[in-house]
Amino acid sequence: MPNLESKSKNENIKKRVLIGVGGGIAAYKVCELVSILFKSGIEVRVILTDSAKKFITPLTLATLSRHPAYTDDDFWQPTHSRPLHIELGEWADVLVIAPLTANTLAKLAYGMADNLLTNTVLASICPVVLAPAMNTDMWEQIAVQRNWQQLLTDSRYHGIDTASGLLACDRVGAGRMAEPPEILVYIQSLLHTQGKRDLAGKRVLISAGGTREYLDPVRFIGNPATGKMGLALAQAALHRGASVTLVHGPAHWDVPLGVQAIPVVSAEQMQQVMLEYLANADVIVMSAAVADVKPKDYSTKKLPKRSLPQALPLEPVPDIVAQLAQLKQPHQILIGFAAQTGDIITPAWEKLQRKKLDAIVANPIDQPDSGFGSDYNQAIFLDKQGCQTAIAPCSKLEMAHQLFDFVIN
């Protein structure tokens, strides 16, 4: 019988993730997921179905998780303690099934329990992340899609749609399992929200990244913004049940499955898209680092070095967040960002009042592991009533969730 300690309300207790591995070639990807989870300080336990053992060994996952991996052989062993599936089900904070096969999907959709994994699912109440993987024709079968949609009507289950690409059967199409980093982000979200979907039915409009104001085809005025904060906001909103539109400047990351992404380059382009989508949004988060000025003149051909002006004439770009504030309806929530050095509260508060925002995020860009390009951030949230909440250094995903907690509550 495993040594599974009882849960505690102490926040210092490690988070606990139980991973169920189905029988599919994508099972090899689970090795990376288990390794990342362990390295991030999360306790991991793994269950393999009998079919999964044909693709990856229990020893591999036991080594990566630093704990024995469970199989049906363990399930059917007599014990003098509590049943294994009950212990595992009560132990987990989040349960992940990856890859989710058509067989396991059908069992879950109809509440069947004939092995350790499916019994554990029914013996638990924690949120469940589902990452299906199968051949395109299998995935697109009416019966499989019916089971998938039926299962997702249960609020416990959080599905990550399959991606399209080259499959192991050499077919190109839908059916690829989500990559481990994407599954990891979903797990981190659910560990924060405990599976709640408090943005269900809401439409969230987010701007992200920096804009570029070109002088000629190769030279521009820009900033170091990477859009990572906006990406984290989109992920957090999506995982909380929102319909998400992400308007972003040039970026070097993949758009999460389920997010409507609209790439732009200049402030004027971002302005046009944000205004177009404003009316249908419930929450608008303006996290983009929009340029303040642009070259007054633009050359369609690259300027020779000798032709560059000694003094570059500039003109202002549209103040997007101020325009959004003027047009927004009473039911809409508009949140701005203020990247600052030194005193971050005073200029952020002035910006909130001047531009008539509902809330603003003041974050320092002169602190280590904070601001542009970092995976981490820290901030002070302010609302129009003057309430302040300080956010200690944390991942940008965690900060995104705390921002939504602040705004929703």
Average pLDDT, the chain: 92
CB 27 within 8 A of CB 99: yes
Rounded to an integer, the average pLDDT of 377-403 is 94
pLDDT for position 111: 95
- Please name the amino acid found at residue 112: M
pLDDT tier at 399, thresholds 50, 70, 90: very high
- The CB density around residue 395, as the number of other CB atoms within 10 Å, is 18
Which tokens hold the place of 86? 């009950």
Determine which helix (DSSP H) or strand (DSSP E) holds 355, and give its type and residue range: none
Determine which helix (DSSP H) or strand (DSSP E) holds 163, and give its type and residue range: strand 163-166
pLDDT of 79 over the 90 cut: no
Rounded to an integer, the average pLDDT of 382-389 is 91
Residue 80, burial from CB neighbour count under 10 angstroms (0-12, 13-18, 19+): exposed
Tens digits of residue pLDDT in 158-197: 999 988 887 787 788 888 899 999 999 999 999 999 999 9
pLDDT tier at 12, thresholds 50, 70, 90: low
pLDDT tier at 61, thresholds 50, 70, 90: very high
Whole-angstrom CA distances from 267 to 63, 215, 289, 292, 344 are 50, 14, 9, 9, 24
Instruction: Give the chain's domains with CATH numbers.
Output: 16-193 (3.40.50.1950), 203-408 (3.40.50.10300)
Q: What are phi and psi of 233, to 5 degrees?
A: -60, -40
pLDDT of 78 over the 80 cut: no
Nearest partner of 179 among 375, 25, 26, judged by Cα = 26
CB 205 within 8 A of CB 245: yes
b/e per residue 352-381 (b: at least 16 CB within 10 A) = beebebbbbbbbbbeeeebbbebebbbbbb
Instruction: Quickly list H helices, 166-252.
Output: 180-193, 228-239
- Taking the C-alpha atoms of residue 315 and residue 267, their distance in angstroms, rounded to an integer, is 12
Determine which helix (DSSP H) or strand (DSSP E) holds 333, and give its type and residue range: strand 333-340
- The catalytic residue among 31, 169, 387, 394 is 169
3-class secondary-structure state, position 386: coil
- Is 126 a known active-site residue? no
- Taking the C-alpha atoms of residue 277 and residue 330, their distance in angstroms, rounded to an integer, is 16
Which tokens hold the place of 39? 């390295």
